[in-house]
Structure 1
Amino acid sequence: RRGPGQAAQENRRKQILRTLKDQEKQQKKATLGLSARMNQAGLGDKMTAFWIWSAVLGVIVFGAALLTPAPTWTAPFLAFAAAFGLPRWVVGFLAARRMKKFVEAFPDGIDIITRGIKSGLPVNDCMKVIGQETPEPLAGEFRLLVENIAMGVSVDQALERMYQRMPTPEVRFFSIVLAIQQKTGGNLAEALGNLSVVIRARKMMREKIKALSGEAVASAGIIGSLPPAVIILISLMSPSYIIPLFTDQRGQLMLMGGGFWMATGVFVMRRMINFKI
């Protein structure tokens, strides 16, 4: 039988868990939204231009689909995919590429801070050096970080904004190290040096996994590209042979079924070879 103290402790533990879950949901909402992805891709908060280009792309694809021998009912679906799917994919691709460049240069930035602290420079001055001497996007993110701190934003809040622009574990580790050092003290240079070693080890592990899974990635790409390639070749060599596949109802059902199972297979293969570190 639990006493009042144990019950209060259990309630406090549940409250902490609920608070952490709420914070995690807020962070996901802040980092996975379209506006956040635009900022992560370095495109700024240009939502109006994004929707205009999406609408123009959808209209162009709709008109092009009507001019092809494909069934008319496919035009709205292709236009919808082009207007809402393709632009988001491009933004996600640009954001992932930009974050990859940031992560690759991030250990060098931490090393600059470590050497600067050992030589007697304040942390803010070390961050300014990163904003001036390192390549983009690392330099731009640290310039924004220094500007936010200079405007009176606390270090924790400035690092949280940086995490929203660059939602990577490396930035989270960096903010945790600085927060712990501010509250408890200690050798910041040594802590950041250890963090740099950990981040470089994570990078080496990612490269090792990429090398080991290269054969599986190539196999998935070849298997996924074979059916579209065969359809294109037959369309060029003997159009009359493959036209019934697009015009006849049975052929259309076969195309939809084949596309569904191909997408399922590619998704499963991607999940099998996609490792998160």
Structure 2
Amino acid sequence: MENLALPTIGIALLCCVLAVMGVHTYASGKAQQQAVVDRLSITGPPAPAGRRRRFRGVDRRMRQTRYGKKLDNRLAATGLDLTVGEFTAYMVFLAAGLWFVGSSALAAFFGPIAGLLGIWAAFGFLGWQRGKRNEKFINQLPELSRILANATQAGLALRTALSMAAEELDAPAGEELGKVADKLSVGHSIDDALGELTDRLPSRELVVLVTTLVLSNRAGGTVVGSLRNLTVTLEERKETRREVRTQLSQVHMTAFAVPVLGLGALLLMNQVMPGSLDRMTSSPLGQGAVVVAFGLYALGFFMIRRMSKIDV
């Protein structure tokens, strides 16, 4: 029995050591997993020095939903230094603030309408920022085409030419081409990497450029002549777009002035006759009239924007 006691104690001690090592390995793995989740929860460009991400728990939960995934793609296309959680929280604060202001300054009935306008304004700002970034990227396409033509004429491969263009061009073209170069470096094909670029920044000019590069890469032919001709065409389209935008600037201002005049009329009426909005919205007929009026203003805004939209 004494001979069996020592091996038993040794095995027991070995099991204890292995158990402690297993618990330590499990805890270390959980910590590493949480660190990876925290890094993945940060969308968009890296946070600048001293910038701490807010609402990280909200961001993790939102990114697991379909709404969060779509919003993540929209934020990536705008180039804003915001996460899904931050944007959602700021949008909720804006809607709540406008709800309070609308209820206090006008009437209680206008609170929910002001909150909905705040949500619409937040998503409208994303669309405006995306369009602004897309327009800036389009203006850089002639220079991008020129760089690619010079690089391919010098004998560089298309992958190397794209990486060189990412280093030489400013944002947003440099940032977007940097993403393309990163995907190419980890094994993605040129078709997939450039296809994701056109999804993030859709435009006819970019589609033509990407199609030229993809077809030339598949056929294995030279792209110098095509890129030279495309550079001239993009320069001409750039000037045409600038002229059209200048001609339609007054129409765009009119579209925004129409709803502003309606809101100003409500404020003026409430100042001239205090409490008139409360009395007007106290009955279903008055509430229906207000809803119809806001709907007509919104319809006028969208109709003017639609009629002034010219695809070049």
TM-score interval (norm. to shorter): 0.7 to 0.9
| Match of residue 109, structure 1, among 144, 151, 160 | 144
Whether the 8 Å contact between 1:245 and 1:255 is mirrored in structure 2 is no
Match of 1:259 in 2: 294
Name stretches of at least 5 consecutive residues in structure 2 with no aligned partner. Answer: 1-65
2:184 is equivalent to residue 187 of structure 1:
no
Match of 1:151 in 2: 186
Match of 2:94 in 1: 57
Mean CA deviation greater in 95-104 or 179-188:
179-188
Whether the 8 Å contact between 2:258 and 2:297 is mirrored in structure 1 is no
Whether the 8 Å contact between 2:142 and 2:235 is mirrored in structure 1 is yes
Whether the 8 Å contact between 1:114 and 1:193 is mirrored in structure 2 is yes
Q: What is the SS of the residue equivalent to 1:43?
A: coil
Q: 1:136 Cα shift?
A: 0.5
Whether the 8 Å contact between 2:281 and 2:287 is mirrored in structure 1 is yes
Q: What is the SS of the residue equivalent to 2:178?
A: helix
Match of 2:83 in 1: 46
Q: TM-score if structure 1 supplies the norm length?
A: 0.76
Cα offsets for 1:171-203 (capped at 9, x unmatched) = 322221112112223330111122222222222
Regions of 4+ moved over 6 Å:
none
In the alignment, the residues of structure 1 paired with residue 96 and residue 278 of structure 2 have an alpha-carbon distance, to the nearest angstrom, of: 27
In the alignment, the residues of structure 2 paired with residue 151 and residue 268 of structure 1 have an alpha-carbon distance, to the nearest angstrom, of: 46
Whether the 8 Å contact between 2:248 and 2:308 is mirrored in structure 1 is yes
2:246 is equivalent to residue 203 of structure 1:
no
The 1:210/1:45 distance shift into structure 2, 3 A limit, reads: closer
Match of 2:8 in 1: none
The 1:232/1:46 distance shift into structure 2, 3 A limit, reads: same
Q: What is the SS of the residue equivalent to 1:59?
A: helix
2:277 is equivalent to residue 240 of structure 1:
no
In the alignment, the residues of structure 2 paired with residue 258 and residue 66 of structure 1 have an alpha-carbon distance, to the nearest angstrom, of: 18
Q: What is the SS of the residue equivalent to 1:33?
A: helix
| Match of residue 68, structure 1, among 102, 105, 124 | 105
Q: 1:89 Cα shift?
A: 1.5
Whether the 8 Å contact between 2:142 and 2:231 is mirrored in structure 1 is yes
Whether the 8 Å contact between 1:35 and 1:45 is mirrored in structure 2 is no
Whether the 8 Å contact between 2:106 and 2:267 is mirrored in structure 1 is no
Match of 1:226 in 2: 261
The 1:123/1:183 distance shift into structure 2, 3 A limit, reads: closer
Match of 1:25 in 2: none
Which amino acid counterpart does residue 239 of structure 2 have in structure 1?
A: M
Kindly report the root-mean-square deviation, in angstroms, between the aligned alpha carbons of the 2 structures.
2.8
The 1:92/1:130 distance shift into structure 2, 3 A limit, reads: same
In the alignment, the residues of structure 2 paired with residue 121 and residue 58 of structure 1 have an alpha-carbon distance, to the nearest angstrom, of: 52
Whether the 8 Å contact between 2:258 and 2:300 is mirrored in structure 1 is no
The 1:208/1:267 distance shift into structure 2, 3 A limit, reads: same
Q: What is the SS of the residue equivalent to 2:274?
A: helix
Name stretches of at least 5 consecutive residues in structure 1 with no aligned partner. Answer: 1-28
2:123 is equivalent to residue 88 of structure 1:
yes
Cα offsets for 1:200-256 (capped at 9, x unmatched) = 2222222232233344334444445433334434545x2438546754535444333
In the alignment, the residues of structure 2 paired with residue 141 and residue 122 of structure 1 have an alpha-carbon distance, to the nearest angstrom, of: 19
Considering only CA atoms, is the larger Rg found in Structure 1 or Structure 2? 2
Number of aligned residues: 244
| Match of residue 120, structure 1, among 145, 150, 155 | 155
